[in-house]
Every structure is written in C-alpha cells, then in structure tokens.
Chains A and B, each alone.
Chain A
Amino acid sequence: MRTSLLTLLIAGVALSGCLEAFDAPREGTSDTADTTSDTSDTSADTSDTGNPPDTGNPPDTNSAPGNPSFSLVYISGHLGHYDSCPDQALPAAGIDGAGQAEPDGASDDAANCVDPCGGWGCEAAELNLRLINNGTVPLTNVVLTDLELLLAPDDFTLPTRAHAVTVDGDTLPTTLGVGEVIDIRVQFTGLLAYRDYRSANSDSDGAFDSDCASTNCGINGARVRAVFASFPLKQEATSPTLYPVTDIDT
C-alpha cells in the first residue's frame, strides 16, 4: 500500500507539472458557492471571528454534458503530536516540494502509527476533506499535488509531505462516479511547535519579522492547504487554523 501511495503521490506531482497550463481554478474563494443560503449567512457572521473555513471551490457553472468538475470541502484536522518523537516532525527548514519526499522509512512512528504509538503518544498530523464529483462525467486518478502549512501571522508558507492519502483506510479510488462523494484523509508531517518555529525563525526569515506582539503570534497552530488534481482539473482547500493534539482538553 505504501508503494502504491507513493506512486500516486509521485504521479500527482508529475501530473501537476502539466496541469499548470490548464485553465483550472487555483485560488479558492472565501465562500463556498454551493452552500445553501442559510449557511452562507452563518459563514458571513463568523468571518470576523478569525479565519473562516476556506473550502474555496466555485463549482463549474457550466455543467454541459461531458463537463468534469469536483469540489473539495474542509471537514476537520489537527497538527499531530510530536513531543515524544521530535525527530519525526518537520525539520525547521521545511521541505521543498510537497509530496515529493519519501516518508522516513518503516521506523517512522508518527507516519506509520496514527494513534498513540508505542504508548508514547506520537501522532501524525491530519487533514480530512470531502471531495464531491459535481461534474457530469466520472473523475479519474484524483491525486494530491500540493500540501503546505500556512503559518500565522502572515501565512508564511511551509511545504510539508503526505504520508498517506486514504479513503476509509484504503487508497483513493481510481474512478469516481458522477455525484460520488468521498471523505479523504491526508496524513502528513507536522511541526513540533508552531510558536517556537515562529520565534526561532523570526531573525533568519523575513516572513517572521513582523511584530510578534501582534495577534497571532501566540497561536500554536497553522492553516493547511491541500491541492488535488484530476486531469484536467485542479482544486484546493484551505483549512482554518489547526492545532497540535493536546494531552488534556476540557
């Protein structure tokens, strides 16, 4: 399964190279265009409470026969738990090219074990998204092409890598029928401590020079952006701020 996932990931990266040429929507909009009127009200109400969830995909308005289209919706996620396995967290420098890097190998606790691992509570970061084939033709070869962390306060972008992209514990289906809906789980490498990352990099990296007394500096979290492609389309979803798994929460 590991090999096939990796193949998928590499295929995704290779594919995404060609995709840039196509006129597929890359940027999300801040509102889900396909929401019912009562929720778009709700979303509007919450836009002043921080980062509204950005599920960002206008559905294809032109739904003529033969039109491929899909949308991505944010469900949930967290940034994992690396206190007891700091070596498995994202290196401070980040990773160039999301999805390209191979997981560290079979001993990679956080990658292999999504649950409290070996009793030491090591968990991979995770993003759950809903993908809906809202076009008029089946979708083939859906792949994750990009995955990155957006760090507050100014969305400094840090590419990360996926360990597994699954649906119900299995690889992504190769074909997705018209109207089909799947919930995709992306497990990926998170940072050890977002707050520390920010202060550690505030001198070396221009992105962190902004005033750390400002609002978001104390936040131990990040937004996560995932881009999925199915030739010839590309869609992205950005989560609201996600946080590492905490030991107690009440």
Chain B
Amino acid sequence: MALLLLRTQLVHPASRYRLLAALTLLLAASLGACDGPLAAAEPATTPYLESATERRALLEAALWQPELPYSRELLDSYGFSDLGWELLPEQTSASRPLTVTDAKRLEAGLGLTLGELTEHAPVELPTSRAGWRALGETVFTQLPLREDGYLTWLASRPSRWPDLGVTPNADGTVRGLVVFQARNSRPAVGVTCVFCHGGDGIVGRGDRELDVGAIRAEHAAEGGRDMSELLSWGPGRADVTDDGVPSVTAIPDMWGLGHAQYLNHSGAIAVSAPGTLAVRFETQYIKGHRMRSRPARQLMWAMERFLTGLQPPRESLTPTPSPTPTSDAIRAGRQQFNATCAGCHAPDAGFSGGLVAADTLAVDPAVATTPERGTGSYKVPSLIAVSANAPYFHDGSMPSLEALLESGHPFGVLDTQARQHLLAYLHTL
C-alpha cells in the first residue's frame, strides 16, 4: 500500500492515461483476465499511433523522473509535432539473418554482401491479435536495432564465439545478428533484440551466456584500446549507461511485461498506458540509428503487443532441480508467500510490483543510484517462471532460489520448513 501511494505521488501526472490504465485494470479484473493490464485490454489501436501530442503525453507520463539525463535526452527531442525526432524519415525495415558463411567470409577479409533482404513492414496491417503478435515477434527477432563497431567485429571472428557466449543456430544463422542496409547504403551487421533477449534460443529469455563486456573489451584491445575493465561484467550482464559510473545489470527475461508497472531494474520508466513500451522501443531504435531515422511505428506497436502477451515456454525452460514437491508443501508455500511476499510481489500482477528503496534491500545500490538512470529504487520483478530464471536480482548476484531464501531478502529470517514450502510454491509460478 505504501508503495502504491509513493508511486501515485511521484509519477509525472498525466491523469488521462492514469485513468485509462485504471479503467483497463478494472476491465481486466472484471473479465477475470489473467493476461495483465496491458495485454488484457488488447486495444485495436492506440493513441501512440495517432499523433505526436499523444506520443508526447505517453513519454511524459513514463519519465516520472524528468531530471535524469536519460529522461532529458528523450524529453528534449521526442514527440514535438514540428521539430525534433518527429521530423526524422522512417527507417527501412528490411534485413536478413547473418550466417556462419557471412562470418567466415568476413574473417577471410572478403567483406559483407547484402544478399536478399526481407521487408518486415507488412503491406497490410494485421487484423487479429495473433497477427499483431506474430508481426511483433518478427520485429523482436529480425529488425536491426543498431550497428556498432564491436558487432561488426564479432561477426568477423566466428572462431572466438564459443568463448564469448555466441552459439550459432543449427540452420547456420546467428541469433540476434542480421545484415541490413545501413546509412550510406552499405551492407552492415545489425543487432536485434534476441541477441540479448533470446537466451538458449528462447525468444524473450535473457541471455545468460552472452558476454557483451568481453566482446567489447576484446574488440577494443584489437584496436589498441584498453577496455579490460568490461571483463568484470561477466556473462549475461551489461552496463547500459554512459555516465562513467559502473552499473552492471543482468539482461532481463521478458516474462511478465504485460504486468509491469515499471521498466528497467531501477524503474526509470513508469508504464502508464498501452503505448508506453512502443515509445521506449521507438526512442531506442532512433538512438541506435544515430538519430538519422525512426522505425515504422506500427512495428513498435506490434512489438509491444507481442511482448506484453508473451508467456514463457515452460516446457523449454529447465527449472533448477528440486525434489518434486507435494501438494501440501505447495499449499503451505502459497500461504507463506501470501503472508510474507505478496505485499511486494503481487500475485495478480505476475508477482511483480512497484518500487522499493534500494537502501532497504540487501543488494548493491549502484544501479539504483547511477547518475544517468538512478531512481534510488529497484522495481519488484515478476516471478513468472522464476525457478528457471537464476541467477537473481538486478545484477544477477544471487545464484539460486535456495540462497535467496536463506539471505532473508527483505522479509527476514525464515525457518527451514518455511523456506522449503516457499521453494515448492515458487517452482509452480
């Protein structure tokens, strides 16, 4: 309750959207939907697609700490109808997967050929929920977010992939790397969302093997620069800020986004209404394309609909081993959870919640206090499919659920039996 109040006071007022969100919630509740506030509504259209003014309102509602440099950059340029990023031309949406053959050619110094690209923007927009989600999945897996020197380098060093956490697919493509026509019409290597959010080949799963820090450090070393400090990130982690203060976060899973009240570990973005994620994605693509073009907005909206409805493919996830719990243990665990955890991890919101001040948690406060995006807090993450999601916490510092329960993570000490019951219950989420 206190958390809820806190949020109400802090969130940049955009009452129209808050009302909409509340109505959506109500609707979801009355329908008994379990798909989450954003997913449940499944609006056919969205203010996001309608006008710059609507996009601006979504942005302002999302960036509830407008003075953060991360917020300021977006607030200064996004959603004005007659200046700024709204005037950018639309990006082309064509790409093809990068293949091991491409990589070997690059390694041999033969250069990259464009090949045959597939246009991802459909001629006609989908008319069904399934159609929108399928389009969103294509965007998530195929649409190049950005190109970077270190990605081009990575594509040309297939022999280094095993050490850097990059595993080619069985069909010879490489997950998350695509070829597209970049600025200046050259063929370029681009990165898509599943490069980081497609671990074990599962769309939406944070990659726990990918070592972005090692990739960048090794690339820099070949160019004569010392960036060896990035080796300390370790696999499955990245520092997405540029404020000179180390703040490494785990690459998150996309499960439970339909319930999210906040985005990113420090909660710098408040989810107020459908369209919030699309705005975040659009600005991400604009920055990735060096502010020279913007993505097709229908594609961003499709990706929001895909991600907010995304369910973990439980059969493909390998939960941490545990003795098969009895139904009694699970029932006792649920009771324990409702008494001890549910105040923060709300069961009707994918077991996620609002923000918790970092200094009340026994975790490293660096990411919560980083000058660029720090809010002073961490968001309460979703616990959907939690037993398959180790390591835990914003920085992946907690190796297992057993260790987490023993740590007294912010609920205090629990006896062995209570912990076992909780564990049994957590395995069912």
Contacts and interface: CB of A to CB of B under 8 A. Distances in A.
A10 interface: no
The bracket for how many chain A residues form the interface is 35 or more
A39 B79 CA distance: 9
A78 B182 CA distance: 17
Interface in A82-114: 83-84, 114
B150 A49 contact: no
A220 B82 contact: no
Contact of A119 (B66, B79, B153, B292): B153
Interface string A237-248: 000110111111
B73 interface: yes
Contact of B149 (A116, A244, A246): A116
Interface residues of B, number: 56
A50 B83 contact: no
B149 A52 contact: no
Contact of A249 (B66, B81, B284): B284
Q: Taking chain A's interface residues, is the majority helix, strand, or loop, or is none over half, making it mixed?
A: loop
A159 to B, nearest CB: 23
Contacts of B148: 116, 121, 247
Contacts, number: 157
A55 B66 contact: no
A244 B82 CA distance: 24
Q: Give the interface centre of A38, A39, A55, A195 by most chain B CB atoms within 10 Å.
A: A39
A68 interface: no
B53 A42 contact: yes
Contact of A32 (B77, B82, B182): B82
A128 interface: yes
A49 B75 contact: yes
B184 A114 contact: yes
A128 B286 CA distance: 13
A225 to B, nearest CB: 15
Interface stretch (B19-27, B84-92, B402-410, B416-424): B84-92
A38 B83 contact: no
A73 interface: yes
Nearest to B225: A84
A119 B77 contact: no
A243 B242 contact: yes
A198 B242 CA distance: 16
Nearest to A223: B76
A244 B372 CA distance: 14
Nearest to A246: B242
Contacts of A119: 149, 152-153, 156, 219, 223
22 contacts: A35-B81, A42-B56, A46-B60, A46-B75, A49-B76, A53-B80, A73-B83, A75-B83, A75-B291, A78-B291, A84-B223, A114-B184, A115-B183, A115-B186, A218-B244, A243-B73, A245-B290, A247-B242, A248-B212, A249-B288, A250-B196, A250-B238
Given A49-B72, A50-B76, A130-B87, 4 more contacts: A76-B286, A114-B183, A219-B69, A240-B72
Interface of B: 52-53, 56, 60, 66-67, 69, 71-73, 75-77, 79-85, 87-88, 146-150, 152-153, 156, 182-184, 186, 188, 196, 212, 216, 219-220, 223, 225, 238-240, 242-244, 284, 286-288, 290-292, 371
